[in-house]
Chains A and B, each alone.
Chain A
Amino acid sequence: DAGVIQSPRHEVTEMGQEVTLRCKPISGHDYLFWYRQTMMRGLELLIYFNNNVPIDDSGMPEDRFSAKMPNASFSTLKIQPSEPRDSAVYFCASSLHRQGTQYFGPGTRLLVL
């Protein structure tokens, strides 16, 4: 099992640019989560999906952030336009069933200049 796969691992961009983060969950997992980790706020949930349907997006900071899951094996988190305060590590995680253990990807370290 390859685990949760995220790309890119590192992203450096300039303020105002569009950023797209990608995630491939573990095969067969029906829940997918996007988290953000910063020094100030720690780890916080942005959004999660069940069977490709967004269930809770209350953690999405603002309209500049959007997430999609077009199929069971792929999800994207998009920031448009990006701002320096979006600099963080973004994690994707997946789990097999409700209250199942969440397995995390390696994260994408985003730096917005």
Chain B
Amino acid sequence: AQTVTQSQPEMSVQEAETVTLSCTYDTSESDYYLFWYKQPPSRQMILVIRQEAYKQQNATENRFSVNFQKAAKSFSLKISDSQLGDAAMYFCAYTPGNQGGSEKLVFGKGTKLTVNP
């Protein structure tokens, strides 16, 4: 079964600094998709970034970027120029890409990010 592991239950960063959140996953699939979702105190689940496993180029969305290491099954999220509004729970998620696979997202346990002014 596929699993997603976030080894950092909590992280903190100073405003305007850079922070990296870790995520590893376990799968026997070669084709899959990885996501980072943000959950602020409002509890809304907000997509931050998406990575297709077949793409070697790391995905980037403004201040958010990933370091995707397929061989190591690692998918870390880097937040640059951290802002107070970045404070939230961050979830790493996986879904298989093969036609016979389930559509479900498998989530990690989350990392709580605090941004200090």
Contact = CB atoms under 8 A, between A and B. Distances in A.
A25 interface: no
A34 to B, nearest CB: 11
Contact of B105 (A45, A89, A98): A45
Contacts of A95: 103
A101 B109 contact: no
Contacts of B50: 101
Interface residues of A, number: 25
Contact of A106 (B42, B108, B109): B42
B105 A99 contact: no
A109 B44 CA distance: 11
The majority secondary structure among interface residues of chain B is loop
B33 interface: yes
Contacts of A107: 43-45
The majority secondary structure among interface residues of chain A is strand
Interface in B59-117: 91, 95, 97, 99, 102-105, 107-110
B45 A91 contact: yes
Contacts of B46: 104
Contact of A33 (B103, B108, B109): B103
A14 interface: no
Interface of B: 33, 35, 37, 42-47, 50, 91, 95, 97, 99, 102-105, 107-110
Interface of A: 31, 33, 35, 42-45, 48, 50, 55-56, 59, 89, 91, 93, 95, 98-99, 101-104, 106-107, 109
Given A33-B104, A45-B105, A107-B44, 4 more contacts: A55-B103, A95-B103, A99-B95, A102-B47
